[in-house]
Structure 1
Amino acid sequence: MFRTAAVGISIGDFSLQMNLFTGKSGNDTNKSSEISYSEGYLKKGRKLGVWNNCEADMYRLGALSIGYSGHKIGTNSEHIRNAFQNYFAHKIISPQAGFRMIDRKWNSYYQYLTPNKYTLW
């Protein structure tokens, strides 16, 4: 199982969207003991750690984009993914191990797709 999430808001043909994608966590691969506690956020004095299994770092997407009529342009960055997935979802909403930041780059992101009101992918 891979971790995905998406959220968006649209007004007419215009949209603002965030898409996340990561590899498998240790829970997904029955390797829940593979958490590195040398990294990760603190929650009530307890370090949550990051997944240390090789599958966890295989894939990454942290896209924040604006769109018009099927065209999306924005940025793909571990900073975006870290803020929404590790900090918001894995620290605040449901305290658990997160995913390490692989790099600190801000890459460009572009996508064209046929508009579909039933999916954000």
Structure 2
Amino acid sequence: MKVICTLQNASLEISGVKFEVLEDGRLVSEEIEDETAELFASVPGYSIVTDDDLPGPELTAAQKKAAEKQAKADKAAADKIADDAAKQKVIDDQVAADQAAADLAAAEKAKTDGVF
């Protein structure tokens, strides 16, 4: 578990636990035992957090550009898959229609030939 400290002028090491400064000025502890985290959380100004609650690192311009490029590529791939699936559905529907027509023709022929 980790804890966040919102106290001003707090040290980067408190009771033997190391903290680092977040972009917004709060401090976040290193990974600590649950019992230790709960002890910190019992003090006003400290709270238990998960990694999901913490802000992510700020992306550089190059990382943002790469992420945008990857998102475009992912969308293009998803669009192609959807397009291919739509084309395959048309083919499958045509095959099913052709089979239904063949079955109907065979049933009609059997009827006229007296096999039915």
**Structure with greater strand share of residues:** 1
**Structure with greater helix share of residues:** 2
Q: TM-score, length-normalised on structure 1?
A: 0.23
Which has the greater radius of gyration?
2
Q: TM-score, length-normalised on structure 2?
A: 0.24
